[in-house]
A and B are shown apart, each in its own frame.
Chain A
Amino acid sequence: MNVLVCVKRVPQTGGRIVLTADGQAIDTKFLGFTISPHEECGVEEAVRIVEAHGGSSAVLTLGPAAAEDQLRDAMALSIERAVLLETDGSEWDPVSTATAIADAVRAQEAADGGFDLIVFGNESADSGGYQVGIRVAVALGRPVVTGLKGLEVGDERITARREAPGGGWETYELPLPAVVGVKEGINLPRYPSVPGRLRAKKKEVERIPVGAASGGPAAAAGAALGPLMVVLRLPEEQASEAEIIGRGAEAAPAVVDLLEKIGVLDA
């Protein structure tokens, strides 16, 4: 089973998000970078599938040169190889991103053989477009299910489960090769080990320049096939007021009254 997992480098934000002065990006001066929790589960899922069924695993991202960090993080968890579709750092829309990834998948498959399964996180942690995985699947002509909280892998097929609106589960069977979008909760991702980190540090990352970085047109400005980000704006902060209803054991009756009032306890 050959598995490709796709991830996106995003800022690891704190309690309050700070924007750059021009409103074009999150100010990352004090922030680290990570991938979304869905994608962390995607990486874990890929690792588990290969552990259970054999085969190979790869991780791919489209992003700036520094996104190599996120690829190495995945390799520290024993993903075997990594591909960086290296941009000039500008924001890419979902259509351009999906097109570039689909092109890269075709090229990878032509060279190294096909991926049985391509795993995406359900949505990215920053723009949350919910589109790239589906668009890649359509471009490659492969079946896709997203929102997965369960995945079983057979020889020729996979069984995918997701929560149904209103409760219960939807179960899908997909022929391979296929594309899936997984959600946080499908598994509990492991931490990288120190030997894993050290091995990942020494591995090669395959770098493929794309868009302006490849000398071509800047994808976001050029293709403009999908929605474009114009400006970022923070929502109004919801003012909240805290009322101290008592201290220590003496506060217990007031707490009970309140719990009754909001229906947690029966009066």
Chain B
Amino acid sequence: MATLPERAKVVVIGAGIVGNSMAWHLAKQGWKDILLIEKGTLPNPGGSTGHASNFIFLTDHSKEMAAFTLDSANQYRDLGVYHECGGIEVARTPERLGELKRRIASSTSWGVEGARLLTPAEVKAMVPFIDETVILGGFYTPGVGIVDSLQAGTLMRQAAMDLGALTVTAGVEVTGIDTKDGRVTRVRTDGGEVETEVVVIACGIWSPRLAKMAGASIPLQPAVHQMIDIGPVPRFANAGSEVDYPIVRDMDTNMYERQHGNGFEIGSYAHRAILMDADDIPSIAASALSPTMLPFTQEDFDPQLEDALELFPEIVGDESVGVKLAINGLLSLTPDGNPIIGETPEVKGLWSVAAIWIKEAPGIAKTVAEWMTHGTPEIDPHGSDVARFYDHHKTAQHIAARTTEGYNKTYGIVHPMEQWASNRPIRLSPAYDRHVELGATFFEAAGWERPFWYGTNESLLAEYGDRVMPRAAEWESRWWSPIINAEHLAMRDRAGLVDLSAFAIFDVSGPGACAALERLCVNRVDVAPGRTVYTPLLNPAGGILADLTIMRLRHDLFRVVTGGGLGMRDRKIFIDGMPADGSAQLYDATNSLTTFGLWGPRARDILAAAAEGGADLSHAGFPFLTSKAVDIDGVRTLASRISYVGELGWEIYVPIEQGLRVWDALWRAGQPHGMAPVGIGTYAVTARLEKGYRAHGAELELDFNLVEAGMARPTLKDADFVGRAAYEQQRPAPPAATLCTLTVDDPTSSTGVRRYMLGREPILDLEGRRIVDAKGRGSYVTSAGSGPSVGKHLLMAYLPPTHAKVGERLQVEYFGERYPVTVAVAGATPLFDPDNSRIRA
């Protein structure tokens, strides 16, 4: 091993699968003077990589996770360490069989090839030692495989060294990471100090400890995963290779089983989540096996053995087959189940690359290396961005609560709208008590409790009858209520009051504010004070990074309003975009302001009734996309004429401590007009879809551009901005796909039940084939929901030019069945009120 250099361009800490992948991908991106520091010994330093089960199931309902996984599998294949053996997820219950059909659909959406459902007999043919009478079927993926993650790491290190880019030091432990003025300056170790401006933390379960050294936070939680290894199995005595049989995931018991050589491995995610503090992990020397292989706790595993015995009696029940190894292996859990990657918001030059599983490790490493080098990762990492966390997410209580709750979802059937139960409520709107009185059902966003619909609006159901599009199937009725659609109709007929407290709000001020924002935004923000701008943000490759609104309040003061979900990620983008000379400052006003939305044909009358005399609310006096102060019941608010629901109305920004007073004033003013409290189910789903409004994370992601999204404007501003060059190239070219709105023609299933897609399902042509555009992207449902005012279930999807035509008939796959759909809109024209006359009333 080399001695520690005095300086390095970048220091990667940790030589598990992630750190090795980072070293390689940085080298491949042209980085030199890369130093990889590992406290253990190579090739197996003693982290989670060393005891990983190393199998890779390719399908995930999350697009981002599936992309990381597919990319990783390809990398392992290229390294020659991928052994394709196939994998089967088996169902013991009818609910699980339905879930397996969903997984087929996700496989099609994300391009996982060859996935299909198996009968119990077909499972038996592939896995002859299974008791097929225990199961109802299986979901088979031929591309599932086992990797040698230690060998992969060794090969990647070697490749980086062969490029002359990498120095590796093992047996050196990092003791400190120094910073100056918010930037990394130095790594201290027990073997000396290294000057550097860039540090990559690839330390798996130890990551929180390393981040803390620099004053940053990586909120992951070491937790125990149990596995045992039994053998030798007589049936496998002549095993031809490491893995001859498909890996089986026994989903309903949270277990997996696999043959390897003459042994059989049984792993479990079913026991209680056993959490550990990163500071409590034993040192290498003090560990019996390794720091991440802890003593087995038999009592946690015993119930699992019964389940394994039931499914594989021939092997597990064989008295001659012994339990050779039983460990509590440590792995990383995160509060939301996603990896934690990217530059930390606390310290410039400090990057986190924390995977959860072997299956996504090389993919996230490649993503981060691209991000560090050009700012243009090929896979959109927004769901995994370390900057996504709010402060409350970083508390030990939150991390422990959510990782405990999430652990048992590892093999769970997780509804797309499923809400977390633990560590709530955290963030409350000033009108929270009113929402409770109105019988709100709360969904959580960024820690905020948001009314999704109001129980007291049940009375509206009678008014609207079947127009609320009632749902008979249990799956789509879960986390849903027909009241959502009734609120939608009441808002369109009269008016609705919406609590929008979850917005993230940043006030950017100073003489350099305008120029700094122009540099970040596609659309011109140098507008007259009082104007509001809706604008996307791009990355340098012209991918869509964010979309948000900016109000120019004064010549040197701008208010940026963005969704709460990625509010903190967006805050980092803006902070990073502030000029070095300090001529512009960002103040995070998220927790200082609350926002209420008032929309509908009666909105002007209601606001006029609530506002103190003299406020000109006429269309001429208060035009669309403008803002001004409006006093309501003694409170000075900022009213912004804008709409995400397609109706006349305003967002009203209120100092948070005066929010309740304003809510009550608007409420009183609204009652004579039949105003309803309206939940986020209308705001974010139904009203948005009818208007074809795009949402970040659904329609707007880095792999799409503004032309494809139908958001390119006819003219281009003069000022330069991030992504401009790429955008200029995109503009004249015909798009490879166009965002369309589709209607479901007949939602009736083969059993006569009306079914309603929830999003992420594959769009197929009339022959049932997957639709793929010229860039290799499959067509899938980006958003789905009711369109109560148009009487159809609505889907949005990017379609290639051959299909992106109004009237084009296609299909959508849902729970194993195909439903006819028709392209209703190709592009951005709203399905409802296409002339936008209601907004501009």
Contacts and interface: CB of A to CB of B under 8 A. Distances in A.
Interface of A: 12-18, 29-33, 69, 72, 190-198, 201
B44 to A, nearest CB: 15
B296 interface: yes
Interface stretch (B212-220, B286-294, B347-355, B660-668): B286-294
Contacts of A17: 286
B302 interface: yes
Nearest to B231: A191
A190 B322 contact: yes
Given A14-B286, A15-B286, A192 B322 contact: yes
Contacts of A16: 283, 285-286
A193 B323 contact: yes
B319 interface: yes
Given A30-B282, A32-B294, A193-B320, 18 more contacts: A12-B288, A13-B288, A14-B285, A14-B288, A15-B284, A15-B286, A29-B282, A30-B286, A31-B295, A191-B323, A191-B324, A192-B322, A192-B323, A194-B321, A196-B319, A197-B323, A198-B302, A198-B309
Nearest to B302: A201
B308 interface: yes
B305 interface: yes
B317 interface: yes
Given A30-B294, A32-B296, A191 B322 contact: yes
A17 B285 CA distance: 8
22 contacts: A12-B288, A14-B286, A14-B288, A18-B286, A29-B280, A29-B282, A30-B280, A31-B288, A32-B294, A32-B295, A69-B298, A190-B322, A191-B230, A191-B323, A191-B324, A194-B308, A195-B309, A195-B316, A195-B317, A196-B319, A197-B298, A198-B305
Given A12-B288, A14-B288, A194 B294 contact: no
B295 A195 contact: no
Interface of B: 230, 280, 282-289, 294-296, 298, 302, 305-306, 308-309, 316-324
Highest count of chain B CB atoms <10 Å: which of A33, A69, A72, A198: A198
Nearest to A15: B285
A237 B794 CA distance: 72
A43 B287 CA distance: 26
B271 to A, nearest CB: 15
A33 B295 CA distance: 8
A203 to B, nearest CB: 13
A143 B323 CA distance: 36
A190 B280 CA distance: 34
A194 B285 contact: no
A90 to B, nearest CB: 22
Contacts of B294: 30, 32
A66 B202 CA distance: 38
Contacts of B319: 193, 195-196
A140 B287 CA distance: 41
Nearest to A27: B286
A194 B286 contact: no
B322 A193 contact: yes
6 shortest A-B CB distances, which residue pairs? Answer: A191-B322, A32-B295, A16-B285, A30-B282, A14-B288, A14-B287
A80 to B, nearest CB: 15
Contacts of B322: 190-193
B298 A194 contact: no
A192 B231 CA distance: 10
Highest count of chain B CB atoms <10 Å: which of A32, A69, A72, A196: A32
A16 B284 CA distance: 9
B275 to A, nearest CB: 15
A129 B322 CA distance: 32
Nearest to B312: A194
A31 B309 CA distance: 28
Nearest to A33: B295
B323 A194 contact: yes
Nearest to B264: A194
B302 A12 contact: no
Nearest to B232: A191
Contacts of B296: 32
A194 B289 CA distance: 22
A11 to B, nearest CB: 9
A193 B286 contact: no
Contacts of A194: 230, 305, 308-309, 316-317, 321, 323
A198 B299 CA distance: 11
A13 B289 CA distance: 9
A30 B287 CA distance: 7
A15 B287 contact: yes
A18 to B, nearest CB: 5
B305 A12 contact: no
A193 B302 contact: no
Contacts of B286: 14-18, 30
B287 to A, nearest CB: 5
A259 to B, nearest CB: 24
A193 B320 CA distance: 7
A31 B282 CA distance: 9
A13 B306 CA distance: 30
Contact of B306 (A33, A193, A198): A198
Contacts of A31: 288, 295
B320 A14 contact: no
Nearest to A189: B322
A238 to B, nearest CB: 14
A193 B305 contact: no
Contact of B295 (A12, A72, A197, A198): A12
Contacts of A191: 230, 322-324
Given A193-B323, A194-B230, A194-B321, A32 B306 contact: no
Nearest to A194: B316
Nearest to A78: B319
Contacts of B306: 198
A84 B744 CA distance: 69
B323 A32 contact: no
B289 to A, nearest CB: 7
Nearest to A198: B305
Nearest to B318: A193
B288 to A, nearest CB: 4
Contacts of B285: 14-16
Contacts of B321: 193-194
Contacts of B305: 194, 197-198
A14 B289 contact: yes
Nearest to A191: B322
Nearest to A190: B322
A69 B326 CA distance: 14
A32 B289 CA distance: 11
